[in-house]
Amino acid sequence: MSRYVLRRLLESAVTLILATIVVFIGIRALPGDPARTLAGEESDPATLAAIRSSYGLDQPLPVQYLRYVQKAATGDLGRSPRTGLEVADSIGHALPVTLQLSAFALLIAVLIGIGAGVVAAVRRRKPAEWAANGVALLGLSVPNFWLGQMLILWLAIAYPVFPASGFVSFFDDPAQSVRHLLLPALVLGSGLAAIVMRQTRSAMLEALTADYVRTARAKGLGSAQVVLGHALRNSLIVVVTIVGLQLGALISGAVVTEQLFVLPGFGKLTIDAVFTRDYPMIQGVVLVTATAYILINLIVDLLYSVIDPRIRVGGTAL
């Protein structure tokens, strides 16, 4: 077991280093000079050279990279040349917005997804299954930003029930926070809900025909007990895995949602940084995303290998 953990940790480190190198070289390969973008309207060769030298952009790439890694290792992600603010601070302000939004979206997705999934599995060939399946299919087929547009049109403009934008932290004012985040979380969570629903359904179906459930039934347990106590509990493992894997997609999806509802989150920070060629910010953002993705996968893998030892033989889970 410890050897497996060690190997996974090593693999994760390699992936992380690869990701930082790829982003480091990648953004520098993009057309669009950060100095020119920074200079804005007042640009002349001398100004551009001065900007480049003050941010070390005139150094050879390996030197720039090593310097960055050296600083990043001590937790210093540098300053954004554009705003002059610490990258770590900016990320620190943006991340909670996205985390709260994602947590809310996840909650919605899991509630709707598992509920509908259980219904669909238990009530096979009944209207309830059709309805649950229909909702899931819709969730997969609706572009989430269009759903957002429609919700804004309907619930924020035609009938102004919810605000069209803005963010209030849950820890400052829970009621206002929910009011502001409900629509964006619904938009962000819709696709995920569909995926969770389908996974729950198929895992439940499999579990319901499995031997231990049959045994439980044979022992005379009521069907609610069987469904909730045994089958669902086992299906949850699969769902947790999926949710873990989808978290990266959730954060990507947050970019569009944040754009639509103008939330000062991580996604918006990312897109703005790329559009303005804010190198330190892009590097910081990718570092954080990659670390989160890798950590989540590592945890899921390890959990999985604890649950099902066969996984270790095949390498990475799933």
Partner 1 sequence: MTVEASTLDIPVAVAPAGMRRRVLRRILRNPLAVTGLVVVCVAALLAIFAQFVAPFPYDQVNFNEPLRPPSGTHWFGTDSFGRDQFSRAVYGLRASVLVGLLSVVFSLTIGVPFGLFAGFYGVLDPVVSRLTDTLLAFPFLVLAVGLAAILGPSLTTAVIAIGVAQIPGVVRVTRSETLRLRGMDFVAAAVAGGAGDAVLLRRHILPNATNALIVQATVAVPGAIIGEAVLSFLGLGVRPPTSSLGIMLADAQTFVRDGPWMAVFPGLTIVVLALALNLLGDGLRDALDPRESRSA
Partner 2 sequence: MPIKPVLSACGVALLTLSLGLTACSAIDSATPQQSTTEERPAKQGGILRVALSAEPDKLDPSVARTLVGRSVFNAICEKLYDVDEKLALVPQLAAALPEFSTDGLTITIKLRTGVKFADGTAMDAAAVKTSLDRHKTLTGSARTSELTSLARVEVVDPSTVALKMNTAFTPLIAVLADRAGMIMSPAALQASGDNFATNPVCVGPFKFASRIAQDRIEVVKDPNYYDAAKVHLDGVTYKIMADATTRFNNLRSGDVEVLDTVAATDVDALKAEANLKLITSDSLGYQGITINLGNVNGVGKAPAALGAPYAGPLATDKRVRQAFELSLDRAAINQIVFRGQYTPTCGPISAASPFSSEVAQACPKHDPAAAKALLTSAGLATPVKISMVIGNTADARRLGEAVQAQAKEGGFELELQPVEFAASLTQTDAGKYQMFQIGWSGRVDPDGNIANFVRTNGSQNICGYSNPAVDTLLDQARKSADVEARRDLYGRVITKLHEDVPLIYLYRVKNFTGVSSKTVGVRVYGDGLLRFGVAGFAAA
Q: Which of 9, 25, 157, 228 binds partner 1 (CB under 8 A)?
A: 157
Q: Which of 5, 88, 140, 307 binds partner 1 (CB under 8 A)?
A: 140
**Residues 247-286: x/- map of binding to partner 1 (CB under 8 A)?**
-xx-xx--xx--x-------x--xx--xx------x--xx
If one asks whether residue 141 binds partner 1 (CB under 8 A), the answer comes out as yes
If one asks whether residue 63 binds partner 2 (CB under 8 A), the answer comes out as no
Give dist(CA 303, CA 169) in Å, integer.
Answer: 31
**Residues 259-298: x/- map of binding to partner 2 (CB under 8 A)?**
xxxx-x---xx-xx--xxx---------------------
Q: 16 and 290 in contact (C-beta within 8 Å)?
A: yes
Binding partner of 286, given partner 2, partner 1, none, CB within 5-8 angstroms per partner class: partner 1
Give dist(CA 218, CA 262) in Å, integer.
Answer: 55
Q: Which of 80, 100, 190, 199 binds partner 1 (CB under 8 A)?
A: 199
Q: Which is nearer to partner 2, 251 or 269 (CB)?
A: 269
19: amino acid identity, one letter: A
If one asks whether residue 139 binds partner 2 (CB under 8 A), the answer comes out as no
Angle at 190 between CA 187 and CA 193, to 5 degrees: 150
Binding partner of 140, given partner 2, partner 1, none, CB within 5-8 angstroms per partner class: partner 1
User: Considering the complex, what minimum distance in angstroms separates the CB of residue 194 from partner 2?
Assistant: 24
If one asks whether residue 69 binds partner 1 (CB under 8 A), the answer comes out as no
Instruction: Provide long-range contacts, Cβ within 8 A and 24+ apart, for 253-259.
Output: 253/144, 253/188, 253/191, 254/98, 254/101, 254/102, 254/188, 256/144, 256/145, 256/148, 257/101, 257/144, 257/145, 257/148, 257/184, 257/187, 257/188, 258/97, 258/98, 258/101, 258/184, 259/145
Q: Which of 2, 42, 171, 211 binds partner 2 (CB under 8 A)?
A: 42
Q: Which of 20, 23, 24, 51 binds partner 2 (CB under 8 A)?
A: 51
Give dist(CA 305, CA 268) in Å, integer.
Answer: 36
The torsion angle over the Cα atoms of residues 61, 67, 70 and 75, rounded to 10 degrees, is: -110
Per residue in 264-292, is it b (16+ CB within 10 Å) or e — as a string?
Answer: ebbbbbbebbbebbbbbbbbbbbbbbbeb
User: Considering the complex, what minimum distance in angstroms separates the CB of residue 165 from partner 2?
Assistant: 4
DSSP state of 41: T
Q: Which residues bind partner 1 (CB under 8 A)?
A: 11, 14-16, 18-19, 22-23, 26-27, 29-32, 124-125, 137-138, 140-146, 149-150, 152-153, 157, 195, 198-199, 205-206, 208-209, 238, 242, 245-246, 248-249, 251-252, 255-256, 259, 267, 270-271, 274-275, 282, 285-286, 289-290, 293-294, 297, 314-316, 318
